[in-house]
Chains A and B, each alone.
Chain A
Amino acid sequence: MTLLEIHEPGETPLPHAGEGTLAVGIDLGTTNSVVAIAREGKPAALHDETGKALVPSVVAYPSAGGVIVGDEARVLMANEPKNVVASVKRLMGRGAADVHAVAGVLPYEIEPGTGETDMVKLRIAGKARSPVEISAEILKALKARAEAALEKQVERAVITVPAYFDDAARTATRDAARVAGLEVLRLVNEPTAAALAYGLDKGKEGLYAVYDLGGGTFDFSLLRLEKGVFQVLATGGDTALGGDDFDRAIAERMFEERQKDGLGDKVDEGAVKNALALARHMKEQLSDRDQTSGRLELAGVPSFHALTRPEFDAMVASYAKRTIDIARRVLDDADMKVDEVHGVVLVGGSTRVPLVRSAVADMIGTAPLTDIDPDEVVALGAALQAEALTGGSDTLLLDVTPLSLGLETMGGIVEKIVPRNTPIPVQLAQDFTTYQDGQSAMAIHVVQGEREMVDDCRSLARFELLGIPPMTAGAARIRVTFAVDADGLLTVSAEEKTTGVAQRVEVKPSYGLSHEDMADMLYDSLDHAEEDMTRRLLTEARVEARRNLLALDSALAKDAGLLSPEERAELDAARARIEKAVAGEDRDEINAAAEALETLSKPFAERRMDRGIREALSGMAVTDLEGRVGEG
């Protein structure tokens, strides 16, 4: 440790150095976590006594009591599987429906009674625990490691999250830090942190891509690096795609092989955890070998499994292709061509898989950069940012929001307010109006995702703007404002502008409402764009037709007396035709029915207007006016 720090004149020394607390950078990963510190622009990962920087993101609650995090927890996995949990990051901000199974069995035991809209809870060592408190244990262990290495108190941190994490998962991460006694200076997106490490430490400039494939998440970001500015142009990803999927594919194959050999396994949580551990080991072996084998023993019955590189490549090819498709889409979003990219940075342990590496090299056309250890690069970038935020710096980090944010409008259509890849912080507003005469409340449903229909997006929050004074349909002006802060967290507020009725909500995500996960959503969005458009047009036609019906009903309620019985019968028939059409799927028929009604109701509308004029002029002799009205 430096006892005496010398600063250039005019350069600010760390203002908090004297207070005895330091700010660290933390990469809270699916499989492994790392804590790092930067001093004077030099970042370093903090190691344990044996020189290891990686802390396995595994938490054990041993039967003997206490909590163990890291390598020792992983060791316990085989003996006390029910007391150990791994890959908890996959569950941050997720509902029960988002949890994926291996061989039909989850490597987690879900606490029964977890509500459909709650974040999932796990049953570990006989107790229900949330992903937030389990993640907090990992953060506590990292904090302790940092304090031991630095011999100072550590209370503040920059924590990284996948760029593609949604609002629920970001909030859950912040909450976990709070539980661990850490103040979050900033949530920084993982690929952005990696770019920061390369840009600041290796002095890279130009257009760079970051390909980040971790244990459970995939991110791809495109950044412009120049003169201390890190500008994210576009980002995309999948929060349910990573090395865990490779392990799962291998594990499933092992179960199939055992079944073929007639080993009647009871596939339970423990069996799955054991198989996954062996699968992970075999996967790692194949990073620098052409074949490997392993021995799996379940309930005392052993089996032997061989796996060659080509077999493994075939198993993971579809995952690799998904990442490349996402990468292309991000390039497309940024209006950039592949040959404009100066280089691609590899991040995450899963980029050690040779097939992944070659897929990336093939797409970008240059050898990927790996000068900085892909397991540590994110934490190093986070440490640099922590130093910049506390010590002052000239670096400017401009990030974007990864997913579009919008509102549900009539008929379940999504009106996007903040499109994806909008620079943050941002505040954007849009005006909406009422749909019915005298409508006194408006339901606001906030969603995140790229699809046109609400049901295909992730629901973030619902609230109601109450107390709208009675007005005719379309007269109220309700301004809904979306504000996304520098951490990527959303606040929504609504206000009726003519009277100033205001309401503001911090978005409290309604976890797990969506059965599809967010990743599939973006992935699907382009494939479904045309279908969405058709559905949107159909919905719009329906909404319009219903609006006409409401107008007709309101007119009939007031002025039915202006119609002859025949006219009334005709209008009722036209009304019935619309109702039938709206119930169907034929947009042309809906429009035709609406048009027929409009033609038919024209004389009625004219008569109502005449009566309005007459009433307005009621002081005058009706006979004086009749001639003129008749001409009109």
Chain B
Amino acid sequence: MDHFARLGLPAALDTDAAALDKAYFARQRQWHPDRFVGKPAEERARASVEAAALNDAYRTLKDPLARAVYLAELKGVKLPGDGKTIDDPELLMEVMDAREELHEATSIAEVDALAAFAREDLQKALADLPRLFLANDKPAIRKALLRMRYLDKFADEAKARRSNLGSNPGRS
């Protein structure tokens, strides 16, 4: 059973966060191991497996990028393992340039600007995904997702770099 079916949701890019929570809570109420304390071992084992599968589904569908990657894989788009080789020369160049910029950034403001840029780029790419999915353009979907995955990672690296420059995340 795929993650969407497990939670009784349509397999779509734009899963509604509140609907996801509601579906997840309702099913966990039924299957969470806390409901099976004192029950026979097989029932407990079954509940544990169900609850774990629900958690996996929830975790994947909650994050827009992970959800898009999952949906693409359901549609038969094959992506390399997370964090593995980049096989797109254009993207490779972009990644190398960006990393260099990040490495050379000496102020928090510069790092923040780079991170904000990456996040904005990621949002734009996410917004463009429905078009690609509608056209069922698998090579384009693959290319876009690889790039988004990199942007996401880059934002994390920027966070690390920021903390290395010796500051606490400011109050907001």
Contact = CB atoms under 8 A, between A and B. Distances in A.
A423 B56 CA distance: 8
Nearest to B166: A527
Contacts of A398: 28, 32
A422 B59 CA distance: 7
B2 to A, nearest CB: 16
A332 B55 contact: no
Contacts of B171: 338, 363
A294 to B, nearest CB: 36
Interface string B53-90: 10110110000000000000000000000000000000
Given A338-B171, A486-B48, A533-B157, A424 B55 contact: yes
A185 interface: yes
A427 B49 contact: yes
B37 interface: yes
Nearest to A227: B25
Interface string B18-54: 0000000100110011100110000000001101110
A396 B32 contact: yes
Contact of B28 (A186, A396, A530): A396
B116 interface: no
Contact of A526 (B37, B52, B53, B163): B163
B33 A526 contact: no
A566 interface: no
Contacts of A424: 55
A529 B29 contact: no
A49 interface: no
A332 B168 CA distance: 11
A297 B33 CA distance: 54
Given A338-B171, A425-B33, A390 B48 contact: no
B168 A328 contact: yes
A389 interface: yes
B47 to A, nearest CB: 9
A325 B168 contact: yes
Contacts of A397: 32, 34
Query: DSSP majority for the B interface?
Result: helix
B56 A396 contact: no
B10 interface: no
A328 B32 CA distance: 30
A339 interface: yes
A394 B26 CA distance: 11
Given A423-B59, A426-B56, A529-B163, A229 B25 contact: yes
A526 B172 CA distance: 20
B29 A186 contact: no
A409 B72 CA distance: 28
A529 B162 CA distance: 10
A154 to B, nearest CB: 16
Contacts of B48: 425, 485-486
Interface string B91-102: 000000000000
A408 to B, nearest CB: 16
B29 to A, nearest CB: 5
A427 B56 contact: yes
A425 B38 CA distance: 17
B161 interface: yes
A390 B38 CA distance: 8
Contact of A530 (B25, B37, B164): B164
Contact of B34 (A186, A428, A483): A186
Interface of A: 185-186, 229, 231, 325, 328, 332, 337-339, 363, 385, 388-390, 394, 396-398, 422-428, 483, 485-486, 526-527, 529-530, 533
30 contacts: A325-B168, A328-B169, A337-B172, A363-B171, A388-B34, A389-B37, A389-B38, A396-B25, A396-B28, A396-B29, A397-B32, A397-B34, A422-B59, A423-B58, A425-B51, A425-B52, A425-B55, A426-B56, A427-B53, A485-B33, A486-B32, A486-B34, A486-B48, A526-B163, A527-B163, A529-B161, A529-B164, A530-B164, A533-B157, A533-B160
